[in-house]
Structure 1
Amino acid sequence: MTSPTIVLDQLASSADVTPSRLQRLAECWAEVTNAGGAAGFPFPPVELARVRPVLDALVDSLAPATSRLLTASVKGELAGWLNVRRDPFALIAHWGTVHHVQTRTALRGQGVGAALMHEVRRIARDEMGLEQLHLAARGGEGLEDFYGRLGWKEAGRWPGALRLSAGDGRDEILMLLAPL
């Protein structure tokens, strides 16, 4: 099977996000969450009415220096997306954090997530002037293996930090990519 052609697009201001694109981002987020993905909403199912205000706030915070969305499309359809942010506080302004990494369920295993992660590394280094990236991944999903194949290193864990249901106590895995 051949890999699909993945088209990446960067959104650096709320003006870059059309209403139809906003709808597709929200649908993707709900789909990924409801399939058990660790993309920011802990308790599926999640409805669009719950996703939209969170997505609206994220889009409103977009700014070239501090927050960008990166999207991946296959055959003109949204295949996945992520958000990269930096804190403007001088003490930590040299690193950024990757949030909400997600790939549509039907396209998993076809390189969409890897393409997003390679491109966010380039953007962070070449366009945002960052020296390292951080992310937090949900334990028990094999995510540390995915990120590890892309050069990320586990920097630590918060044992039992995430509770997705009664009696659950998954680790939050802290990952680092440095140098970029």
Structure 2
Amino acid sequence: MALTFTFDPAVTPDLRDGILDLWADVSNAGGAVGFVPPVTPEAIRPELVKHFAAMAEGRTRLLVGHDERGKVAATAFLTLNTHRLMTHWLWLYTVMVHPRHQGKGYGRDLLAAAEDAARGLDGIEAIRLTCRGGLGLERFYGSCGYKEVGRIPGAIRVAPGDDRDDVIMLLPLG
């Protein structure tokens, strides 16, 4: 069964807790979403609060996917540029699909829903994201239409002696 996506959902305690649990589960399964295992929802909470603050300021929009049980199963945050010369593209952050749902095409569904959401915003011509090298994420995003447009070698330090490239990907919407 497919996920049900909602753009700009009401932020409720259930949604907040669902995102925290998703983020911890993805991180602890080895997902490249800003943390390394082991991590708890409480350790992630300050980062989610930053996303919610940006939402309250109108700089960030949330896309959330719920599974057939109504559980948060996927997210992506679409962040508008505040620089006056870069308002024609946005950032895609914290792109996650719960490990129990991976391999079902839901990642592609999430990216397609994010693309649809971005196309619905005035003046947005492209989506930009970064991903951690060494996990095959570039291939996945590439298969969804994103192009690698830059790479910073060793920019992400996962652990001492384990540096990964920061890969910059772009999806033109035109």
TM range (shorter): over 0.9
**Correspondence for 2:88 among 94, 115, 135:** 94
Q: In 2, Cα distance between the equivalents of 1:65 and 1:95? A: 15
**Correspondence for 2:67 among 65, 74, 90:** 74
Q: In 1, Cα distance between the equivalents of 2:7 and 2:120? A: 13
Report the Cα offset of residue 127 of structure 1.
2.4
Secondary structure of the corresponding residue to residue 120 of structure 1: helix
- Aligned 8 A contact 1:65 1:128 in 2: no
Which 5+ residue runs of structure 1 have no aligned equivalent? none
Residue identity (%): 36
**How do residues 27-42 of structure 1 correspond to structure 2 at under 5 angstroms?**
27-41=21-35
In the superposition, the TM-score normalised over structure 1's length comes to: 0.90
Note the aligned Cα RMSD (angstroms): 1.5
- Aligned 8 A contact 1:79 1:112 in 2: no
Counterpart residue number, 2:109: 115
For these two proteins, the number of residue pairs brought into alignment is 173
After superposing the two structures, state which structure 1 stretch, 104-113 or 124-133, moved more: 124-133
After superposing the two structures, state which structure 1 stretch, 59-68 or 48-57, moved more: 59-68
Report the Cα offset of residue 64 of structure 1.
8.8
Counterpart residue number, 1:139: 133
| CA shift digits 1:94-137 (9 cap, x unpaired) | 11000011111011011221111111111112224310111001
Counterpart residue number, 1:159: 153
Which 5+ residue runs of structure 2 have no aligned equivalent? none
Secondary structure of the corresponding residue to residue 83 of structure 1: strand
Report the Cα offset of residue 21 of structure 1.
0.9
| CA shift digits 1:18-67 (9 cap, x unpaired) | 001100100000110111101122x3211111111211221122159531
Q: In 1, Cα distance between the equivalents of 2:98 and 2:118? A: 23
Q: Where do 4+ consecutive residues of structure 1 move more than 4 Å?
A: none
Counterpart residue number, 1:176: 170
Q: In 2, Cα distance between the equivalents of 1:97 and 1:159? A: 20
Secondary structure of the corresponding residue to residue 120 of structure 2: helix
What amino acid sits opposite 2:44 in the alignment? V
| CA shift digits 1:144-172 (9 cap, x unpaired) | 11111110000011011111111112111
In the superposition, the TM-score normalised over structure 2's length comes to: 0.93
Q: In 2, Cα distance between the equivalents of 1:178 and 1:10? A: 20
What amino acid sits opposite 2:63 in the alignment? L
| CA shift digits 1:78-99 (9 cap, x unpaired) | 1111101012221111110000
Counterpart residue number, 2:5: 8
- Aligned 8 A contact 1:136 1:173 in 2: yes
After superposing the two structures, state which structure 1 stretch, 147-156 or 120-129, moved more: 120-129
